[in-house]
A and B are shown apart, each in its own frame.
Chain A
């Protein structure tokens, strides 16, 4: 591909804000092509917040922020990229990525165009900012890869001030750094993977390099799944959902720039890449006929795919529960149970997957429940909007998942004029326990302390299916086996759910406690759950056993013992 306004090769030493926009777009596009590979690098064999998806959605939010801007100043564009990345940051990897952008933006703040030296400064500042954002930086992660990238850029600058040359060395070093992550982080070595966040970052930089080299940014396979995900995930920003249209134009002397301009005028979320012989078009439109007709007028159309995004979105919401606010649902039951929050009181925002858990959080006095959790991490913006929507200026956030901590922290910092505190709840039972200690009329610091203390008074168990064969925390599991986690740690594995639940309860120390609560997931029928509760009651005749519908995806059961 020969991008129309980024000259490649020797002699090209700068790029302005508009050129840089293409870099961001290319980084995003290449990550979109490869995010599944990043997702597969999950240390824990449990379905949870996928790093690749989180980073891709964060990058998409970053790019969307600048897609429509004509601003030529690099510093201004970089700042916008950071804003977009921050708002869209999902999962801890997304937040760290947003902080890399923050540092980069700071490093190039005064620069109208990107030169080799400002690139180096940007990368160095990015690394500094990302390390700062993490409370206890760990080597062998995205941070290490970012740091080595900056070091390599600095070393390369001594020999050349040619952007492509520097970037080439940076990407090469990133690959090496990623390969070395298991040596630095034993848990990666045990799981037999490299660091996913570092891999994701490498893909972004590599995408930029590919743009400079004129290499293609699209792989034809597996596109439909990627693009289906794309259309599913940010439709609420758009007026109607429309259609997702993709095709290839084959021809001679195709004018990429002109075709891109025209396609952009027809729809949104456009991606037009290629060269004078072959162009890939991907666009969201209300009228698919128009964009297909235009493509056909330019050359021969190949691989035409048209998908109805409205349908996909509805299916998505049904299947997983989208990253939406439960309170915005028009379905009445949840809304009816939402407590009214008085001005000046302390309110709680909680993240929870599944309708049942949502209702439980509302019934215990949560002011807002953000749908999401294990497999779909809400963005920083989702959390921030929930906080801002409350008529009170004292808010406690219950992330209920470790991978949401950083986004929650960023939201807490960004909530202007409000006192916001994150109570670091790692599991649903911890969140429920914390919520029980919420005194809306109490003194803020004291209430936060009470809630934190209360959250530690409960043992959490989670039962799901192993997503791969692995050895973690000293437990060997095969892909497809049933596994039980005690307080986030892989503890038992077995071949049927019932025996795993009983083993897990034993490991959780249920013997010495009083109350076992069972939240059953969306893949478990009421009848199966009742049977499970009966078996537990039989094993623990003196305990209280409480069964509730959680409705969470992927996890058969979430258990608490107290």
Chain B
């Protein structure tokens, strides 16, 4: 039986960009709209390019799902080499990607087993799930094992973001009415988290220092951390990142804290000056 193939969308971010190639993961690009111009994420524009552009022209791009046809194309191609595909998409609360990936299955019904999983997360968290799935698949395990591994990891994933301003979140329509009232009178730097696939305000800070404190507090509540990465808007280690890394090193001496640049989807939601952490909690066997 052929090896299970893994598909994801371009919201997924990886510590090592070569991973996708090494493990034969297919990435379906999201569309990035700057006004009438439509660019394919990761093909026509990369994360840094987009962040620079956002800062330069002060425009928030719209990020939309790949069309059904894009998934159909990918499924047809993969069908030639496998009859089992696992598709892991970012949270269906953000775009129509999950729905489009599902719809596209119709054209291959009976010919190929395609399972689409809503990761209920995005960015580096989604990347962790894809790596987990690709790793299990690479061991020639059956599709059920791959699905089980992904579902088992979804519940261990946590993301927190700290944004300078809620403007982008509000413009993206991601936070409900009650929470939208937050920070309208005073400048608030909210700490957001993803819960059930939605971005919600977890805590509120007024300064960078307070925000860093709250993020550290969040991390120290875990008894076991399998993986952790810092999400930011540049591959450079900034002062803020260094501060966060130093604080984390004090709390967890052996923890790796790699830096990943967040992608266009996150940038369109949180703006060009956000900072975040993705955590995969240990499952207790370590």
Residue positions of A touching B, CB distance < 8 A: 337, 339-340, 359-360, 363-365, 432-433, 436-437, 439, 457, 513-515, 517, 544, 546, 548, 562
Given contacts A432-B186, A437-B203, A515-B206, 6 further A-B contacts (CB under 8 A): A364-B183, A436-B204, A436-B206, A513-B207, A517-B186, A562-B207
Query: How many Å lie between the Cα of A142 and that of B85 in the bound state?
Result: 81
- Chain B residues with CB under 8 Å of A363's CB are 181-186
- Chain B residues with CB under 8 Å of A437's CB are 203-204
- Chain A residues with CB under 8 Å of B182's CB are 363-365
Considering the complex, give the chain B residue whose CB is closest to the CB of A338.
B181
A340 touches B178 (CB 8 A): yes
A546 touches B207 (CB 8 A): no
Q: Which of B201-226 contact A (CB under 8 A)?
A: 203-210
A514 touches B185 (CB 8 A): no
Report the minimum CB–CB distance from B208 to chain A (whole Å). 6
Query: How many Å lie between the Cα of A546 and that of B208 in the bound state?
Result: 15
Query: How many Å lie between the Cα of A271 and that of B37 in the bound state?
Result: 81
Query: How many Å lie between the Cα of A360 and that of B185 in the bound state?
Result: 6
Interface size class of B (residues with CB under 8 A): 10 to 19
A436 touches B208 (CB 8 A): no
- Chain B residues with CB under 8 Å of A457's CB are 210
- Chain A residues with CB under 8 Å of B188's CB are 364, 436
A337 touches B210 (CB 8 A): no
Considering the complex, give the chain B residue whose CB is closest to the CB of A458.
B206
Interface membership of B187, Cβ < 8 A: yes
Proximity string of chain B (167-205) to chain A, C-beta cutoff 8 Å, 1 when within and 0 when not: 000000000001001111111100000000000000111
- The 3 A-B pairs with the shortest beta carbon distances in the complex, nearest first, are A363-B185, A514-B207, A436-B204
Q: Which of B142-162 contact A (CB under 8 A)?
A: none
- Chain B residues with CB under 8 Å of A544's CB are 187, 207
A360 touches B178 (CB 8 A): no
- Chain B residues with CB under 8 Å of A515's CB are 206-207
- Chain A residues with CB under 8 Å of B206's CB are 433, 436, 515, 517, 562
> At the interface, is chain A mostly helix, strand, loop or mixed?
mixed
A364 touches B186 (CB 8 A): yes
Kindly identify which residue among B181, B187, B205 contacts A365, using a CB–CB cutoff of 8 Å: B181
Query: How many Å lie between the Cα of A408 and that of B209 in the bound state?
Result: 32
- Chain B residues with CB under 8 Å of A359's CB are 185
- Chain A residues with CB under 8 Å of B185's CB are 359-360, 363-364, 548
Kindly identify which residue among B178, B183, B203, B208 contacts A514, using a CB–CB cutoff of 8 Å: B208
- Chain B residues with CB under 8 Å of A364's CB are 182-183, 185-186, 188, 204
Report the minimum CB–CB distance from B165 to chain A (whole Å). 12
Considering the complex, give the chain B residue whose CB is closest to the CB of A360.
B185
A339 touches B178 (CB 8 A): yes
Determine which residue in B184, B205, B206 has the highest number of CB atoms from chain A within 10 A of its CB, and name it: B206
- Chain A residues with CB under 8 Å of B184's CB are 363
Report the minimum CB–CB distance from A451 to chain B (whole Å). 12
Considering the complex, give the chain B residue whose CB is closest to the CB of A560.
B206
B186 touches A546 (CB 8 A): yes
Query: How many Å lie between the Cα of A359 and that of B208 in the bound state?
Result: 25
Considering the complex, give the chain B residue whose CB is closest to the CB of A356.
B185
B210 touches A562 (CB 8 A): yes
A360 touches B181 (CB 8 A): no
- Chain A residues with CB under 8 Å of B178's CB are 339-340
Query: How many Å lie between the Cα of A154 and that of B208 in the bound state?
Result: 63
Given contacts A364-B186, A457-B210, A517-B186, contact A339 B203 (CB under 8 A): no
Give 10 pairs: A residue, B residue, CB < 8 Å, sorted on A: A340-B178, A360-B185, A365-B182, A436-B188, A437-B203, A437-B204, A514-B207, A514-B209, A517-B186, A548-B186
Report the minimum CB–CB distance from B8 to chain A (whole Å). 33
Query: How many Å lie between the Cα of A437 and that of B183 in the bound state?
Result: 13
- Chain A residues with CB under 8 Å of B210's CB are 457, 562
Report the minimum CB–CB distance from A460 to chain B (whole Å). 14
Report the minimum CB–CB distance from B236 to chain A (whole Å). 21
Query: How many Å lie between the Cα of A562 and that of B210 in the bound state?
Result: 9
Considering the complex, give the chain B residue whose CB is closest to the CB of A436.
B204
Report the minimum CB–CB distance from A536 to chain B (whole Å). 15
Query: How many Å lie between the Cα of A548 and that of B186 in the bound state?
Result: 8
- Chain A residues with CB under 8 Å of B207's CB are 513-515, 544, 562
Report the minimum CB–CB distance from A547 to chain B (whole Å). 11
Report the minimum CB–CB distance from B167 to chain A (whole Å). 15
Query: How many Å lie between the Cα of A517 and that of B208 in the bound state?
Result: 15
Considering the complex, give the chain B residue whose CB is closest to the CB of A519.
B186
Considering the complex, give the chain A residue whose CB is closest to the CB of B208.
A514
Query: How many Å lie between the Cα of A367 and that of B221 in the bound state?
Result: 30
Report the minimum CB–CB distance from A203 to chain B (whole Å). 43
Report the minimum CB–CB distance from B244 to chain A (whole Å). 16
Report the minimum CB–CB distance from A533 to chain B (whole Å). 13
- Chain A residues with CB under 8 Å of B183's CB are 363-364
Considering the complex, give the chain A residue whose CB is closest to the CB of B205.
A436
Query: How many Å lie between the Cα of A527 and that of B197 in the bound state?
Result: 46
